[in-house]
Structure formats: C-alpha cells, structure tokens
Structure 1
Amino acid sequence: MTPGVTPVAMAGTGPRVAGQVRVAGVRTPPGHRGRGYAGAVAAEVGRAALAAGASEVLLFTDPANPTGNGLYRRIAYRPVADFAVYDFA
C-alpha cells in the first residue's frame, strides 16, 4: 500500500479449481460506498481470473442484499442457482 493513500474497496479470488475461480471478499468501507468502487474491483478480479485461464468466475451473494445483487448484475454476473448451508452440530 502507498503511504498516505486510503483504500476505498477490495476484492479477492480463491484458487482455480476445475477451471472455476470464486470472487470473494468484495468490500467498500461505509464512507466510500455508492461510487462504483466495489463494482470496479469485482469486475477487475473477474477479468484477471479469466485472463489467467479460468473458464468460469463465480460470485456467491446473499439473496437478501438487493444492493449487492443489483451491482453484480450490472457488471455482468447472472444468477444461476440458490444454495443453502446447513450445520448439523
């Protein structure tokens, strides 16, 4: 990080498995939201994964988050399936 520069968004990816890469950790601090930063970094890590040889880029979202889901649709992600996680303790 450059001294004196404040990060405004972040996103990362997991490892490529069976040709697929998962985008994860898309975040923007509250004071910087609404300016397109999260969309820009999410789109860029997806492009980078494809350029590095991924055949598919996945992004799991919370169906109850209309802001995030709208953003991901605007940058060309599309809903494919709903998943549920169960913990049998």
Structure 2
Amino acid sequence: MTSSNSSGERAPDPRPARTRAAIFTAARELSADDGEVTVNALAKRAGVSRAAFYSHFTGLDDLLGAMLQEMFDAAWERGRTNGAAGHTIEQDVRTATR
C-alpha cells in the first residue's frame, strides 16, 4: 500500500534524509582520537553501508562541502530571522560568541 496526499502524489520517502542526517552526525562525532576519518569509519558509525554513503556523497570532500553548506545556510537563515526581528549584526555576533 502506498501513501499519498490529497492530490494523489506520493509522500516523500524520509529514509534518504535520515541516512544523510546519520552521516552528518557521525562525521561530527568522529575525532582524531578515533583514528583516521574514512568512509568506512563514517558508515560504520552512522549505521549505514558504504553504498548508502556514496549514494549521497562522492567522497569525504563532498561530505565536508555539504556540511559547510548546511552550516552557512542555517547561519544565513538565522541572520534573516534576526534582522526581521530588528536585531543588529553586532547583537547576533555577541550572542553567538557567548
């Protein structure tokens, strides 16, 4: 049985987003103390296969780029929200550094 919304379209599959989030979390948790950061180590820590990793990223550099893009996007959105609320950039910087 397939799930659908009122327009007859299928709901998006949540598994890719969960896999990507698990890989991001594993990458943030791995440290130099864990040894060399490799695709194998990330996949194992994330609980996914190497194939699943490579279905989302071309390699470690691509993963790092995606993580940086997510961080920049979140910071940009916070800045837009704070700006709309009347905060100055100086206030945002002070809050972020606390």
Structure with the bigger RCO (C-alpha within 8 Å, sep 6+) is 1
Structure richer in strand, relative to its length: 1
Between Structure 1 and Structure 2, whose CA radius of gyration is higher? 2
The TM-score normalised by the length of structure 1 is: 0.30
Structure richer in helix, relative to its length: 2
